[in-house]
């Protein structure tokens, strides 16, 4: 009887341990900054609402930089951070160096939100954040093109994603951002 109790206990402990996932937070990941390649751990944004968006300078959706900047300016004092992640994954539309990307964003769109160094965002060699997001949200949620957006709440929980065609000024996107900003951690 004790042996059966022991086995049942082991079984329950295994199930409980597997239910607690250490990578259940975006705060477990880090990028490097676009300028200077300094570490940029996502836990430095703890308590903020984060939009992580893969970007490109030579894409038909590149004007979303302007809308992302306006969104950032409007809500940053309420705790919003937009994090741009340049990527050359889709049709080679981000061929420049990190310095060229930084200059392009500043000169053409006045981007003041943080940007990371260029990263791979799709496929098996994607940055660990993107692999985690795909695993967390499931099939069909990984970037399929530039300007795919992930929304992360103040606790680091990945709460939604938005395809490229969802403009940063669309009512659906604004509503999701405002809802996340209203929730306190």
Q: Could you list the active site residues?
A: 59
Question: Do residues 72 and 112 lie in contact, with contact meaning Cβ atoms separated by under 8 Å?
Answer: yes
Alpha-helical (H) ranges within the chain are 2-19, 64-75, 98-109, 128-137, 171-182
Question: Do residues 57 and 87 lie in contact, with contact meaning Cβ atoms separated by under 8 Å?
Answer: no
Question: Strands 39-41, 30-32: parallel, antiparallel or unpaired by DSSP?
Answer: antiparallel
Copy the structure tokens of residue 99: 């310095």
54: helix, coil or strand?
Answer: strand
Question: Do residues 164 and 145 lie in contact, with contact meaning Cβ atoms separated by under 8 Å?
Answer: yes
What single string gives the DSSP state of each residue in 63-89?
THHHHHHHHHHHHGGGTEEEEEEE--T
Question: Do residues 78 and 65 lie in contact, with contact meaning Cβ atoms separated by under 8 Å?
Answer: no
Dist CA 172 CA 70 (whole Å) = 16
């Amino acid at each position: 009887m004790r042996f059966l109790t022991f086995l049942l206990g082991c079984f329950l402990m295994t199930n409980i341990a597997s239910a607690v996932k250490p990578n259940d937070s975006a705060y477990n990941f880090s990028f490097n900054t676009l300028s200077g390649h300094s570490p940029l751990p996502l836990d430095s944004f703890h308590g903020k609402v984060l939009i992580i968006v893969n970007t490109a300078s030579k894409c038909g959706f590149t004007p979303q930089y302007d809308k992302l900047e306006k969104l950032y300016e409007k809500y940053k004092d309420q705790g919003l951070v937009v994090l741009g992640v340049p990527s050359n994954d889709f049709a080679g539309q981000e061929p420049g160096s990190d310095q060229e990307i930084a200059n392009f964003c500043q000169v053409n769109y006045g981007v003041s939100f943080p940007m990371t160094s260029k990263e791979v965002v799709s496929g098996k060699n994607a940055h660990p954040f993107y692999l985690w997001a795909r695993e967390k949200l499931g099939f069909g949620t990984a970037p399929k093109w530039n300007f795919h957006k992930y929304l992360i709440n103040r606790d680091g929980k990945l709460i939604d994603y938005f395809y490229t065609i969802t403009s940063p000024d669309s009512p659906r996107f604004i509503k999701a951002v405002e809802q996340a900003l209203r929730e306190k951690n």
